[in-house]
Structure 1
Amino acid sequence: MIARRRLLGTAALAALAAPALAQPSGKPVTLVVPFAPGGPTDLIARRLAIALHDGLGQTVIVENRAGAGGNVGADYVARGAADGSLILFGTSGPLAINRMLYPGQSYDPTRDFAPIGPIGRIPNVLAVHASVPAHSVPELIALGRRGERLAFGSSGNGASSHLAGALFNRMAGTSFEHVPYRGTGPALNDLIAGHIAMVFTDVLTALPHLREGRLRALGITTEARSTVLPDVPTIAEQGLPGYDASVFFGFVVAVATPPAAREVLRAATENAVRQPELRRWLEQQGMQIAPAITPAALSALMAEETARWSAVIQETGARAD
């Protein structure tokens, strides 16, 4: 009953505080996913869209606009309707990192977007082939410092799986070679076959291979352990304090969107994420839920990620494929 009253209260707020979101024409809300259908970002967005529909009392449509590492969809929202009817489900790439990977990017995430709030983070896991003679991060670092020629695969130049390895090298003083692939699947296939030594990949993708013993998990890439792999220690707690290489998710709208409409969306987002069923589902996907769903919290995340990766990208000369 309480949850229902909250949902009705949010819907009433939408009608009173932001008429643009409750037009007589029934204009739907479009949630733009800047990646292709079927991936983890798309899957999460579609579950969130259902919850947003319940909270706003309006139709919420998911629209995929993929390309340029998320830049195509992000630019579409930055230049699109500024009335609260167009939302970007952004990630670390289009909201922070891409500006350093794509020279001449057509939008500025700080200037062109108004943040609604973060949803959470999904960590990667450092997974090695079963033949690698290391069962912990310190043992892997020792191998690297002794000059062992080990390589890590990624889903492509500039991807989070590439930058996670580059940050690891930078902090650990190792020189593991980067081998870019066209997607996570090919990288994992080569890892399982023993052609490369390790990957930094999302926990859900790696989980079946870890359970079947084809791969070994050495560490989680966030400062907090993963709810999906709770027994695997973080890289930070194994001698690299401050190591954090995760992907964050959050909602933004065009900067000219009225403050009242932004607050309606923020309240509906917070209400959705706090629902026990959706929260459990998100955690099952490996997500670490944001402690605060506010514009300030997302602004801080965007600034932190930009600062975190600027030095790594500069040093490695990383550029997107």
Structure 2
Amino acid sequence: MKHRTVVASRRRMLCAALLAPVAMLSATMSLANDAYPSKTIRIVVGFAPGGGADIVARQIGAQLSKQMGQPVIVENRPGATGTIAATNVSQSSADGYSLMLASQSTMVIAPSMYARLPFDPIKDFKPVTQLVSMPLVMVVHPSVPAGSVREVIELVRAGKLASYASSGPGGPQHIAGELFNTMSGIKLTHVPYKGESAALTDVIAGTVPVMFANVPVVAPFIKSGKLKAIAVSSLSRAPGLPNVPTVSEAGLRNFEVLTWYGLFAPANTPSAVVQKLSDEATVALKQPELRAKFAEQGLSILGTTPAQFGKFMTAEVPKWAGVVKAANIQAE
């Protein structure tokens, strides 16, 4: 009997010893989660100010700052399809204070365009949440005598339209332009810019007549008459532009190119911090004021969990690799 008591006692001591580190780790993660954030958070954007990514980052950042009680600043590091920003964040401290707002152009298209990248979008980052998605809208300068997709195609075939602008090689705008070329059997020459704002300036000026642009960026110019909206790139009409048909409706069946934006953290960021960020973003996306702004800009709210976003990312990389190869899109 005494022997059994001693054995049982030793087993309890062994279990306690084994469970102690787990309990300490759990307590540490809980404390880290409770203490976070205690200073300024930066959201790095790989594109110039004024573009779709910048607009979303500033709006979600402002709401997160209200909720979390710390400043959330947006830092623009444009260039190379957002890969400059991605490299910076992947090499930053994994403490939850350096985040990146990125789209598929950086995280799933760039790996197929560049022979070598200084980061791996899957291994070097933890997905936090996929925030929003939106279609692009084909816009033309008011001087272009076209009000439909068919008329744009006819002008190109007649040699009266020659080029389209984009925010840079490999982005959704570039992808949309090349897919439009392929599906319509025409050839608009790609004119890449360093950022959407720079491209838009030249389209408004009439220097380049056509562009697939992010809805929130061009909506004010469509309303003011400085640009004409031809069609949106989603399969259903955009909430912010209900009177604008889809490219698919206009005859190029199943044409679809969507832009999405999501938050990412460096790979070794504690899971508790990533989860807190994801939870806070979910709360932010439920706020009526922010929802109204996003709806007005034609954005569809997503707010996925880290696990859902990770699964989505894993599937996106090979899908877009096929598109890049088929269209022969290369870094310029």
Would you say the 8 A contact 2:51–2:217 is kept in 1? no
Pick the aligned partner of 1:266 from 269, 278, 281.
278
Q: Alignment partner of 2:272: what SS?
A: helix
Q: Does 1:76 align with 2:88?
A: yes
Alignment partner, residue 223 of structure 1: 235
Q: % of aligned pairs identical?
A: 37
Q: Does 1:168 align with 2:180?
A: yes
Q: Alignment partner of 2:122: what SS?
A: helix
Q: What's the TM-score once normalised by structure 2's chain length? A: 0.78
Pick the aligned partner of 2:324 from 310, 313, 317.
313
Pick the aligned partner of 1:294 from 289, 299, 305.
305
**Greater Rg by CA:** 2
Alignment partner, residue 202 of structure 1: 214
Q: What's the TM-score once normalised by structure 1's chain length? A: 0.80
Which amino acid is 2:168 matched to?
G
Which amino acid is 1:280 matched to?
A
Q: Does 1:152 align with 2:164?
A: yes
Pick the aligned partner of 2:132 from 116, 120, 141.
120
Summarize deviations over 1:179-218 as a string: whole Å, max 9, x none: 3345545644554565544221223443344345454322
- Count of residue pairs the alignment pairs up: 306
Check 1:218–1:51 CA distance in 2 against 1; reply closer, same or farther (3 A cut).
same
Summarize deviations over 1:111-142 as a string: whole Å, max 9, x none: 21111111112322112344545432244445
Summarize deviations over 1:271-300 as a string: whole Å, max 9, x none: 01111111112223332212x422244335
Check 1:148–1:185 CA distance in 2 against 1; reply closer, same or farther (3 A cut).
same
CA distance in 1, matches of 2:223, 2:311: 36
Which amino acid is 1:176 matched to?
L
Alignment partner, residue 179 of structure 1: 191
Alignment partner, residue 106 of structure 2: 94
How far has the Cα of 1:147 moved from its partner?
7.6
Alignment partner, residue 34 of structure 1: 46
Would you say the 8 A contact 2:48–2:194 is kept in 1? no
Check 1:16–1:91 CA distance in 2 against 1; reply closer, same or farther (3 A cut).
same
CA distance in 2, matches of 1:244, 1:125: 11
Deviates more, 1:171-180 or 1:92-101: 171-180
Would you say the 8 A contact 1:17–1:264 is kept in 2? no
CA distance in 2, matches of 1:185, 1:268: 30
CA distance in 2, matches of 1:183, 1:27: 30
Would you say the 8 A contact 2:109–2:171 is kept in 1? no
Check 1:269–1:139 CA distance in 2 against 1; reply closer, same or farther (3 A cut).
same
CA distance in 2, matches of 1:92, 1:246: 9
Q: Alignment partner of 1:269: what SS?
A: helix
Deviates more, 1:122-131 or 1:206-215: 206-215
Check 1:50–1:98 CA distance in 2 against 1; reply closer, same or farther (3 A cut).
same
How far has the Cα of 1:58 moved from its partner?
4.0
CA distance in 1, matches of 2:36, 2:271: 21
Q: Gapped runs of 5+ residues in structure 2?
A: 1-26
CA distance in 2, matches of 1:165, 1:67: 20
Would you say the 8 A contact 1:115–1:298 is kept in 2? yes
Would you say the 8 A contact 1:218–1:233 is kept in 2? yes
CA distance in 2, matches of 1:187, 1:281: 24
How far has the Cα of 1:246 moved from its partner?
2.7
CA distance in 2, matches of 1:191, 1:58: 39
Deviates more, 1:206-215 or 1:165-174: 206-215
CA distance in 1, matches of 2:221, 2:141: 10
Q: Gapped runs of 5+ residues in structure 1?
A: 1-14
Which amino acid is 2:78 matched to?
A
Aligned CA RMSD, in angstroms, stands at 3.1
Would you say the 8 A contact 1:159–1:320 is kept in 2? no
CA distance in 2, matches of 1:66, 1:161: 16
Which amino acid is 1:268 matched to?
E
